Structure 1
């Protein structure tokens, strides 16, 4: 069964953890110095917060699937919806190893569809240049590629987006 995913960037991780722990009436499933995640069943959501230097607010939305077949089906549906779909295989991000597909909706909201393969000991694999400089990571589309070539802040998903 799919699970809705919300990832928020927060300015004060400790106060946000206290707030969401009370709101959800449960402790985080994953708790790290820069990250917390609640895997809720009612509502069925993977709700994550992080304090990695990005602007506070909604970082991205997504759908978590149980297997590769579910990810392929969501990829087909994302392609049919008309967005540019950017695969990210064997990603290490948000203390997990996952296969992912990234896209943007018509308003520019980032969407991550993913199948988690296991836990990771680090937030990112490699140097998270976008996260450390506060830039927003986006799937590579014609617009983001043009922005990057013009000196914009494009960062490919494999550089630390989750």
Structure 2
């Protein structure tokens, strides 16, 4: 099964947590310094706000899979999309160890496809590739 992932950079993390907790009717499932995540089932979304990247507003979208085997067909479609493709592999990013790849749509909107193995204590970093002056990897 798949879950939509949406990430926003925010100025004031505490205010954003209060706003989105009210909007979603529940508290974040994960909070760390500069980071909060809601794993919602209705709608089925992994929604993140973070203040560590310096970006404000919409950061990137993604497709999160529940089983690692689900990644290969998605990665194949990313490669066929005639767009930038960054196979990041296994990495630590946003307090999670994940296997992921990145792309960008024709307007530069960044997308990732990923499987999360487990949570980490560190925020992590990932490679960065510029697409029209925006990093392809939105991590960190």
TM-score, normalised by the number of residues in structure 2: 0.90
Count how many residue pairs are aligned between Structure 1 and Structure 2. 140
Quote the residue 2:120 is aligned against: 120
Higher Rg of the two aligned structures:
1
Q: Quickly say closer, same or farther: Cα 1:41–1:106, change in 2 above 3 A.
A: same
Give the secondary structure class of the aligned counterpart of 2:58.
strand
Pair 1:3–1:33, CA change in 2 (3 A): same
Unaligned runs of 5+ in 1: 129-136, 148-152
Answer yes or no: is the 8 Å Cα contact 2:108–2:134 preserved in 1.
no
Q: Which runs of 5+ in 2 are unaligned?
A: none
Pairing 1:101-120 to 2, within 5 Å after superposition: 101-120=101-120
- Corresponding residue number in structure 2 for 1:134: none
Q: Higher strand proportion, which one?
A: 2
Which one has the bigger helix percentage? 1
Aligned to 1:8: 8
TM-score normalised by the chain length of structure 1:
0.78
Deviation at 1:67, TM superposition (A): 2.1
CA contact (8 A) 1:85 1:139 kept: no
